[in-house]
Structure 1
């Protein structure tokens, strides 16, 4: 299925601000097919609404950590800083207990006041993601805001070790732009890190198989196309989740730099496609959220970007573990 694609504001800003920085890891060759989608700026390509029709995104530039009005954008990836553009992510529970616990946090302005007004983006005022440092646990959560600006959400963090929490939001202040902040969490106990799942072209979750094709190149836009099947049959009735037929989050192995992209046109399946640019060479973990039969599921992939080839060109595949059971993903 030939779907329209775009790199959303997260990925566009991220690629523009730090496309040549923070190189890590090594890469391998393409998985299925070469990228064929041209880069489309967010301003000219709206994304689908819950009905599957194009819907504006409010100018939120995804992937980078844009500045507040009147300040210069930082030359760092999204999610690597706890403070940016006059906003700070303040965790009230930086050391949650193992298992299910309630996480509380707030976003504070430059004067130390809790921010209470946000712009709704993809159906939510704030998107909250928690991932383990070894990238085997992933939580896309939907916290609830109290009148004083304190957010809270239940999260299941099953193992001891280091985690990182990301707050993705756009303040309601006039002229404000989107911000992605990150903060470290520590779950006490004996830490046993898991190896990063191997590169493979498919992931399996709850009886669904998701195949990832295309390339992910550092500093160059490429198409990632994910095809969802069940029992060998294409899934052609994917359901909108937060206003889109799929959401894709990429975290760079090592520092967990954050890249968030969304599909634009097409649907409701079996293909969900994205145009994305890797900020640097390295290894990335991709997490695709899709909804079918009333339930959101996550397919995870390990991807490498930036292997030199003959002639000096670079390429990177979009790939993943053969089975999805090695990872731990949930929604809240």
Structure 2
């Protein structure tokens, strides 16, 4: 099933497990120049859910750029963390009409809420799945390697709502900060022994198709595993304001036509010209990995590739929490 782009703003951290939690929280795809690769497990056979909310609709304003929208507010209870140290990030979604935390959500891609964390310079990225306590407070552990400004984005659909919503809030990470340049334009990326090649262009207006081919040791990977109900998930962040596009793949596991690699295809429309950082999540041999690229949409000037023709390496760590709420 083709699913349109989601446009929303982008994010930063979340931390530790909260007492009696509803559902299993997972920490997904840390990407950073410093982070080593760690394991991440995920249950197979996850159902792919419809996730519209206007995020990918042509002509819709980017989401996630506001802390309050459509009667809901993101209450970030942790506004500051220390760099290179695992800490807990806690937050809630408040319904403005009642002043109470939202406690009923519709599951999207096997989760009630997806949390994205990104540094302002787009060199650190986290896709997190926190746990929810009975009072509607969400929590998850997070370890951000470098100080600076981050953005936290909560992507969710309240029970009974027609569309999904993404709210964003700023997060400060204390320590000595040295912002980095956006990694150079490239259509190839290496992560944890895998080579991922991007085909197609990120376009504005009518949009276009992107295909990401996964290979290892020079051989195409043809046995990708379902992750959150798909063979891949793609997030695009616009350089500058971190406007966020959550792009769902074309087709899904078990539909009779979608192959388990090497190619994962997406139909995308960028909200404007400019530079974007793309993050592809894919699962193979029980681990989720994230490949990162820098691309330019709408004819914006391309930066040159590095001497090896690849984007800067982004280590990808993955950790899973069990039913007890702890990471494994």
Which category describes the TM-score, using the shorter chain as reference length?
0.7 to 0.9
Q: Aligned pair count?
A: 274
Q: Decide whether the 8 Å contact of 1:221 with 1:277 is kept in 2.
A: yes
Counterpart position of 1:92? 77
In structure 2, distance between residues paired with 1:61 and 1:316: 31
Q: How is 1:248-287 mapped onto 2 (pairs within 5 angstroms)?
A: 248-265=234-251, 266-287=258-279
Counterpart position of 2:225? 239
Using a 3 Å threshold, how does the CA distance of structure 1 residues 232 and 195 change in structure 2: closer, same or farther?
A: same
Counterpart position of 2:67? 82
Q: How is 1:170-249 mapped onto 2 (pairs within 5 angstroms)?
A: 170-173=157-160, 175-249=161-235
Gaps of 5+ in 1: 15-48, 67-73, 309-314
Using a 3 Å threshold, how does the CA distance of structure 1 residues 56 and 330 change in structure 2: closer, same or farther?
A: closer
- Give SS of 2:6's match: helix
Counterpart position of 1:8? 4
Quote how far apart the aligned CAs of 1:194 are: 1.2
Quote how far apart the aligned CAs of 1:10 are: 2.1
- Give SS of 1:165's match: strand
Length-normalised TM-score, structure 1: 0.76
What do you get for the CA RMSD once the two structures are aligned?
2.7
Using a 3 Å threshold, how does the CA distance of structure 1 residues 279 and 204 change in structure 2: closer, same or farther?
A: same
Quote how far apart the aligned CAs of 1:79 are: 1.2
Q: Decide whether the 8 Å contact of 2:52 with 2:163 is kept in 1.
A: yes
Gaps of 5+ in 2: 9-42, 252-257, 320-328
- Give SS of 1:307's match: coil
In structure 2, distance between residues paired with 1:101 and 1:324: 30
In structure 1, distance between residues paired with 2:110 and 2:311: 27
1:127 corresponds to 2:114 = yes
Quote how far apart the aligned CAs of 1:176 are: 3.5
In structure 1, distance between residues paired with 2:108 and 2:287: 21
Counterpart position of 2:22? none
Counterpart position of 1:60? 52
Counterpart position of 1:43? none
CA deviation map 1:211-244 (0-9, x unaligned): 0010111122200100000000000000000110
Using a 3 Å threshold, how does the CA distance of structure 1 residues 231 and 171 change in structure 2: closer, same or farther?
A: same
Q: How is 1:34-53 mapped onto 2 (pairs within 5 angstroms)?
A: 51=45
In structure 2, distance between residues paired with 1:199 and 1:9: 22
Counterpart position of 1:165? 152
- Aligned mate of 2:141, from 154, 163, 172: 154
1:296 corresponds to 2:282 = no
Length-normalised TM-score, structure 2: 0.77
